[in-house]
Amino acid sequence: MRIISRSEAAEILTIKAVIRVMGDVLTDLARGEAVQSLRQVLPLLEGNLMGLMPGYLRREAALCGPAGVRCP
C-alpha cells in the first residue's frame, strides 16, 4: 500500500481523470461488475472520523482500497 500526501494527490489526480474513472467505476457497479461494501466509519479522538470504503473491480481483478478519508 502506498500512502500519498495531499500535495501528491493534487499533482496526480486531475478533475478530468477523476470524473472519467468515477464514471467507469459507477457504470461497473450498476452492471454488477464491481463489489463495494458499506462504508465503515471509525470514531477517532477529538470527534474526528475515519471512513473506509473498500471495493473490488472484476474487470481489473483489483482491490480498490481500502480508501481512507479522515475528517477533522
Q: Which long-range contacts (CB under 8 A, 24 or more apart) does 38-44 make?
A: 44/70
Q: What pLDDT is recorded for position 30?
A: 94
Model-level pTM? 0.59
Query: 64 with 57: CB under 8 angstroms?
Result: yes
pLDDT tens sequence across 17-54:
889 988 988 899 999 988 888 888 889 888 888 888 88
Q: Is residue 41 part of a domain?
A: yes
The domain of 14 spans 6-71
Greater confidence (41 vs 61) lies with: 41
Position 29 in a domain: yes
Does residue 24 form part of some domain? yes
On whether residue 19 sits in a domain, the answer given is yes
pLDDT of residue 63: 63
> Does position 3 have pLDDT exceeding 80, yes or no?
no
Residue 11: inside a domain, yes or no? yes
